[in-house]
Structure 1
Amino acid sequence: MINPKLQDALNEQMKNEFFSAYLYMAMAGYFQSEDLPGFASWMRVQALEEMTHGEKFFKFTCDAGGRTELRPIDGPQNTFKSPLDAFEFGLKHELFVTDRIGKLMDLSRKEGHHAAQIMLQWFVTEQVEEEASFSLIIRKLKRVEGDGRGLLLLDQELAARVFVPPTAAA
C-alpha cells in the first residue's frame, strides 16, 4: 500500500512527465516551422518517451494500491531564439526533472517504500541518459554555430532517431 504523501509526490511527477511530452511537442513544432524536420522528429521521439515515463508512474501508482490523479498541465514555451536555445532550454528542463526524481527517491527511502525505490532507480539511470543526450547535441550545435551546412547535417543525423518503447521489465 502507498501512503498519501508518496502518492501525492508520484502524481506530481506523473504530471511533470506528461508536461515534458507537451514541452517536447512544442519544440517539435518550433523546429518544423524552422524547416528542420530532423530536429522536429527527434523532439517527437522525445515526447513519446516522456509519455511512456508518465505511463510508468500511472501504472506503478495503481499497482501499488494508490490512486492516480491527473493534474492540470501548464502551456509550454513554444518559441525559441535558435536550435541551441531550444536544446539549452530542454537541458534545463531535464535538470529540473532529475532534481524531482532525486527528491522522490529520497521520499520513498524516508517512507520505507522499497518498491518505489526500485521503480525510481530506472528513472535515476534514465535521467543520466537524458542529460547526456541534450548535452551532446548542445556541444554539436555550438560546434556548427553559424554554419548552415553543419546545421543541416546535424538535422539529418537527428532524423535517424526512432522511438523504441521500453520493455515491460524496464
Structure 2
Amino acid sequence: MISEKMAEALNEQLKWEFWSGYLYLSMSAYFEDKGLTGFAQWMKNQAGEELFHATKMYDYINSAGGRVILQTVEAPQSDWESPLAVFEDGLRHEGEVTAKINNLMNLAHELKDHATANFLQWYIAEQVEEEGSFGEIVSKLKMVGDGGGMYMMDKELGARVFTWPAPAAQ
C-alpha cells in the first residue's frame, strides 16, 4: 500500500506528465503554423509519449492503493523565435522533468517504498532517452541553421512514429 505522502508526490508528477503532453502539442501547433509538418509530427508523437507516461503513472497510483487526484494544468507557451528555440525549450523542460523524477526516487528511498522505487526506475531510464533525443536535435539544428538543411530535418523528424506499448501481463 502506497503512503499518502508518496501518492501525493506521484499525483503532482502526474500533473507534470500531462502538462508535458500539452506543451508538446503546443509546439506541434507552432510547427504546423510554420509549415514544418515533419517537426509538427515529431512533436505530436512526443505528446503521445508523454500521455502514455501519464497513463502509466495513473495506473500505478491506482494499483498501489493510492487515489488519483487530477490537478489543474496551466496553458503552455505557444510561440517561439525559431525551431531551435522550441527544441532548446524542450531540452530544458526534459531536464526539469528528470529532476522531478529523481526527487520522487529520493522520496521513495526515504520512505523505504521499494515498489515505487522499482516503478520509477523505468522513468529514470526514459528520461535519459528523452534528454538524448532533444539534445541530438538541438545539435543538428545548430549545424543546419535556417538553410536547406531545415527541409531535410523536417523530413527526418516526420518519419518518427509512436506506438503505444502493449499492456504488460498482469
Which TM-score band (shorter chain)?
over 0.9
RMSD: 1.1
SS for the counterpart of 1:112 is coil
Match of 1:101 in 2: 101
How many correspondences in the alignment?
A: 169
Following superposition, the deviation at residue 165 of structure 1 comes to 1.6
Unaligned runs of 5+ in 1: none
Q: C-alpha separation between the residues in 1 aligned to 2:146 and 2:7?
A: 48
Query: Where does residue 48 of structure 2 map in the other structure?
Result: 48
Question: Cα deviation per residue 1:12-60 (whole Å; 9 max; x = unaligned)?
Answer: 0000000000000000000000100000000000000000000011000
Secondary structure (helix, strand or coil) at the match of 2:160 reads coil
Partner of 1:157: 156
Per-residue CA distance 1:119-154 (angstroms, 9 max, x = gap): 10000000000000000000000000131x100000
- Tell me how far apart the structure 1 counterparts of residues 5 and 164 of structure 2 sit (CA, whole Å): 30
Q: Could you tell me which residue of structure 2 aligns to residue 138 of structure 1?
A: 138
> Aligned-pair distance for 1:168?
2.8
**Distance in 2 of aligned mates of 1:41 and 1:75:** 20
> Could you tell me which residue of structure 2 aligns to residue 64 of structure 1?
64
Secondary structure of the residue that 2:79 maps to in structure 1?
Answer: coil
Provide the identity percentage.
48
Residue of structure 2 equivalent to 1:31? 31
Aligned to 1:83: 83
Q: For 2:93 and 2:102, how far apart are their aligned partners in 1?
A: 14
- Which consecutive residues of structure 2, in runs of 5 or more, have no partner in the other structure? none
Measured in 2, the distance between the counterparts of 1:167 and 1:89 equals 30
- Using structure 1 for the length normalisation, give the TM-score: 0.97
Instruction: Give the corresponding residue for 1:113.
Output: 113
- Aligned mates of 2:92, 2:165 — CA distance in 1: 24
Matched, 1:8 2:12: no
Q: Matched residues in 1 for 2:103 and 2:165: separation?
A: 23
Q: Distance in 2 between matches of 1:163 and 1:2?
A: 31
Distance (Å, rounded) in 2 between the aligned partners of 1:26 and 1:51: 14
109-118 vs 92-101, greater mean Cα deviation: 109-118
Q: Matched residues in 2 for 1:83 and 1:159: separation?
A: 14
Q: Distance in 2 between matches of 1:157 and 1:74?
A: 31
Separation of aligned partners in 2, 1:67 and 1:46: 27
1:2 is displaced (CA, Å) by 1.0
Partners in 1 of 2:146 and 2:113 — Cα distance?
51
- Give the Å deviation of 1:4: 1.0
